[in-house]
Amino acid sequence: MAKMTLEELRNLRESKKKEMSQRDGNDKSAQIIIGMGTCGIAAGAKEAFDAFLDELNTREIMDTKITQTGCMGLCFSEPTVEVDVPGMPRVIYGNVDEKVARRIVKEHLIGKALVSDHIFDKPAADIIK
Ligand X SMILES: Nc1ncnc2c1ncn2[C@@H]1O[C@H](COP(=O)(O)OP(=O)(O)OP(=O)(O)O)[C@@H](O)[C@H]1O
Q: Assess whether the previous peptide bond of 86 is cis (omega < 30° from 0).
A: no
In this chain, which of 37, 44, 79, 94 binds ligand FES, going by CB under 6 A?
A: 37
What does 50 interact with, of another protein, ligand FES, ligand X, none (CB < 5 to 8 A by kind)?
another protein
DSSP, collapsed to helix, strand or coil, labels residue 100 as helix
Amino acid at residue number 31: Q
Please state the three-class secondary structure of 47-80 as a single string: HHHHHHHHHHHHCCCCCEEEEEECCCCCHHHCCC
Query: How many residues touch another protein (CB under 8 A)?
Result: 38
Binding partner of 58, given another protein, ligand X, ligand FES, none, CB within 5-8 angstroms per partner class:
none
Q: How far apart are CA 128 and CA 92, in angstroms?
A: 10
Stretch that binds another protein, among 6-14, 77-85, 90-98, 119-127 (CB under 8 A): 6-14
Using only C-alpha atoms, the chain has a radius of gyration, in whole angstroms, of 16
* Binding footprint of another protein on the chain (CB under 8 A): 1-4, 6, 9-10, 12-13, 16-17, 20, 36-39, 41-42, 46-47, 49-50, 53, 56-57, 61-71, 73, 75
* Binding footprint of ligand X on the chain (CB under 6 A): 37-38, 71
